[in-house]
Amino acid sequence: MTKLSVNINKIATLRNARGGNIPNVVEAAKKIESFGGQGITVHPRPDERHITYQDIRDLSNIVTTEFNIEGNPVAKFLNLVMEAGPAQVTLVPDAEDAITSNAGWDTIKHKKFLQEVIQEFKNNGIRTSIFVDPDEKMINGAAETGTDRIELYTEDFAVSYAKGDKTGIEPYKRGATLAHELGLGINAGHDLSLDNIKYFKDNIPHLDEVSIGHALIAEALYLGLETTIKRYLDQLK
């Protein structure tokens, strides 16, 4: 079964809009795990506009499934990850002013930098994943960095699928097949939702994990968090 990791950034965004500690991200993470979620994902930004560095320290003490921290491996981020000791770190090439992730790594241009960062994480027993577009050159480049996994950036698939064009899955199928042949694990995320997750999962071979935040939290406003998580788990079987 493909694992479901729930990104809780949007819960922190809601909390920060009012101040205080409602909703409580630690309690939300506990609820998600109790409802069957198989991982908790956070993606801190340098300005801490949603998940804060203190949130991550707090979560590192209570997450009992898989803790996945995403972000651009600047010095501050590296230090935080080493302190928190998650199961997985997902490297994302975010610009500081990016609203959300909008591109994968150029694993050829940044190969040496990624190799150095990944080795440091490996020395500390942390699994690594690199956020990449479904480009076979970039996937080949990722394999040369020493990463354990890639995370396929799925926005292009989601946009084409919403328009009724299912051919957008093809680059992802080829990319996942290549990644598996290269010995890489395969994660995926960005704009996956209850509308498209089953089609994506059924067509992508060797899919280890999906990380879903914005859509899942939005859907939970209508369906409830427990029901939403269970629907995702049913479709990922």
Give the domain CATH number at 229: 3.20.20.70
Strand 39-42 relative to strand 149-153: parallel, antiparallel, unpaired?
unpaired
What's the CA angle centered on 155, arms 59 and 151, to 5 degrees?
50
**Alpha-carbon gap, residue 19 to 29, rounded angstroms:** 19
Average pLDDT for residues 5-18, to the nearest whole number?
A: 97
Catalytic residue, from 70, 151, 209, 219: name it. Answer: 70
- Identify the three-state secondary structure at position 212: strand
Q: Active site includes 43? A: yes
Q: Which residues of 52-83 are buried (b: 16+ CB within 10 A; e: fewer)?
A: bbebbebbbeebebbbbbbbbbeeebbebbee
Helix (H, G, I), strand (E, B) or coil at 210: strand
- pLDDT tens per residue across span 24-54: 999 999 999 999 999 999 999 988 999 999 9
Rounded to a whole number of angstroms, the distance between the first and last alpha carbons of the chain is 5
Taking residues 122-144, report their average pLDDT: 97
CA distance readout (Å), 233 to 120, 165, 190, 193: 33, 25, 17, 12
**Out of 33, 50, 151, 190, which one is annotated catalytic?**
190
Catalytic residue among 43, 50, 151, 209: 43
Q: Given pLDDT bands bounded at 50, 70 and 90, which one contains residue 56?
A: very high
In this prediction, residues 215-221 reach a mean pLDDT of: 98
0.75 cut: is pTM over it? yes
Using one digit for the tens of pLDDT, what is the confidence trace for 145-155?
Answer: 999 999 999 99
Specify the number of domains making up the chain. Answer: 1
Q: Is 70 a catalytic residue?
A: yes
The radius of gyration computed from the CA coordinates of the chain, to the nearest angstrom, equals: 17
pLDDT score, position 95: 61
Neighbours of 101 (CB within 10 A): 21
What is the mean pLDDT of the segment spanning 110-134? 97
- Percent of the chain exceeding pLDDT 70 equals 97
Count the neighbouring beta carbons within 10 Å of the beta carbon of residue 21. 10
Domain membership of residue 91 as a residue range: 3-236
* CA–CA gap between residue 225 and residue 212 (Å, rounded): 13
Mention every residue, 6+ apart, whose C-beta is less than 8 A from residue 150.
129, 130, 131, 132, 139, 142, 179, 184, 185, 186, 187
pLDDT at 99 over 50: no
Does the annotation mark 219 as catalytic?
Answer: no
Calculate mean pLDDT across residues 205-216.
Answer: 97
